[in-house]
């Protein structure tokens, strides 16, 4: 008999929620192009604008400041540009500064040449080093143009919440532009682009329970925007050409609307399940290392290392037990390697770590299944220093 599968990898992709699926099916049946002026086109446009309002509400932004893209990666490539426009004027930006724990989509630097990308240090606790940020930006050559700083609000591996308001205060004081990757934060903590102090925010639908293949770039205003990455027609106010992916955008909007509702109560319950899992792991194997446990984290994520067990071996072992976990960021198909996040924190990343990430559909029974598998896997591992 087949083992019942338990999905514990929500940070990679959240399962598509029913409301998003229903919205997508309805949109698939609509024949109109959102740019057409006839009734069918206007109906399609209304779906997009409803979704735009829902996404804006999720992050405390204006609907007019939401640009839909094909993914968060595309949004990152759009906003991380050395050339912006203010009206008809072109404005050159001097250098990009990214933290050492960013997602590969941001660490790649977007459209900035590699020689104009500087990495920012983090502390051993996995937090942006504010002193290093201050000294680095203080040394920026203003004659090159404005500095751009890109920082994630919630780390996708550890779940650690970054001191983003302090980061923003430093960036603004030193005349920079702040881009915040909010992919893992949206729907998990209360968000407001103004309170965060971001100039731009990057979002992804499939981390929320929406479909894959759609993201958004949210801006503080409309007057200062990066040059378009995808050129052509005038869709998305000229910021992103191409006929909009109506079903995907509809699903994004439905997921955003659902995740905005009852956010605090829902996530408190999720955090209680995560804490149950961590307490069980430490009870079974007190030597288990849980990264970021002493810092503020989102409630759905646990990034842990069991001495004597390689991440890849552990991932396969849990998979054979019917449990889907990951070994960190899901950015390359089939790739399990050393965590750049752990390396940046000064940890030994050679054997890696495993990430448990859960969501609204996770149950106590799921956590019990995980802990049962953890007991068996912990008992089979080799002694420390002889990692399996």
Which residues are known to be catalytic? 331
Q: What is the dihedral of CA 117, 120, 121, 126, to 10 degrees?
A: -110
Query: What is the sign of the dihedral through the CA atoms of 305, 306, 309 and 315?
Result: negative
Q: Which of 373, 12, 384 is nearest to 184 (CA)?
A: 12
Q: List CB contacts of 193: < 8 A, sequence separation 6 or more.
A: 59, 60, 61, 65, 180, 201, 218, 220
Are 44 and 33 within 8 A, CB to CB?
yes
Give the span between the Cα atoms of 107 and 287, in whole angstroms: 32
Give the span between the Cα atoms of 359 and 69, in whole angstroms: 25
Give the angle subtended at the CA of 295 by the CAs of 290 and 299, to the nearest 5°.
75
Strand pairing class (89-99; 83-86):
antiparallel
Q: Which of 108, 173, 82, 93 is nearest to 141 (CA)?
A: 93
Structure tokens at 192: 């407001």
Give the span between the Cα atoms of 302 and 293, in whole angstroms: 8
Residue that the structure tokens 């390697």 belong to: 337
Give the span between the Cα atoms of 275 and 350, in whole angstroms: 26
Between helix 18-28 and helix 246-260 the angle, nearest 10°, is 150
Structure tokens at 151: 């920082």
Give the span between the Cα atoms of 64 and 41, in whole angstroms: 19
Are 362 and 325 within 8 A, CB to CB?
no
């Amino acid at each position: 008999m087949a083992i019942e599968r338990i999905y514990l990898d929500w940070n990679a992709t959240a399962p598509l929620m029913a409301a998003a699926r229903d919205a997508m099916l309805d949109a698939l049946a609509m024949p109109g192009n959102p740019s057409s002026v006839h009734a069918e086109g206007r109906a399609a446009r209304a779906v997009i604008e409803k979704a735009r309002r829902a996404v804006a509400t999720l992050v405390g932004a204006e609907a007019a400041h939401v640009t839909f893209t094909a993914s968060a990666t595309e949004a990152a490539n759009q906003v991380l540009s050395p050339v912006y426009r203010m009206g008809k004027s072109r404005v050159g930006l001097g250098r990009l500064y990214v933290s050492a724990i960013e997602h590969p989509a941001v660490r790649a630097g977007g459209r900035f040449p590699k020689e104009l990308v500087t990495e920012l240090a983090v502390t051993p606790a996995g937090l942006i080093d504010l002193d290093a940020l201050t000294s680095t930006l203080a040394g920026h050559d203003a004659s090159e143009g404005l500095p751009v700083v890109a920082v994630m609000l919630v780390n996708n591996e550890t779940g650690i919440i970054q001191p983003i308001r302090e980061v923003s205060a430093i960036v603004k004081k030193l005349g920079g532009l702040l881009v915040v990757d909010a992919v893992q934060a949206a729907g998990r903590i209360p968000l407001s682009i103004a309170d965060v102090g971001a100039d731009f925010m990057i979002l992804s639908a499939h981390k929320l329970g929406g479909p894959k293949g759609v993201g958004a770039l949210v801006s503080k205003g409309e007057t200062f925007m990066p040059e378009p990455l995808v050129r052509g027609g005038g869709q998305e106010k000229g910021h992103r050409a191409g006929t909009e992916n109506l079903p995907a955008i509809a699903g994004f909007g439905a997921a955003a609307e659902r995740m905005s509702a009852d956010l605090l109560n829902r996530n408190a319950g999720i955090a209680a399940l995560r804490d149950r899992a961590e307490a069980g792991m430490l009870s079974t194997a007190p030597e288990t290392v849980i990264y970021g446990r002493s810092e503020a984290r989102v409630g759905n994520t646990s990034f842990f290392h069991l001495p004597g067990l390689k991440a890849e071996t552990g991932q396969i072992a849990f998979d054979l037990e019917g449990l889907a976990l990951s070994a960190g960021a899901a950015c390359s198909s089939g790739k399990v390697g050393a965590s750049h996040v752990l390396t940046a924190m000064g940890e030994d990343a050679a054997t890696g770590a495993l990430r448990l990430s859960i969501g609204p559909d996770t149950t106590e029974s799921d956590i019990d299944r995980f802990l049962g598998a953890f007991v068996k896997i912990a008992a089979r591992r080799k002694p420390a220093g002889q990692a399996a």
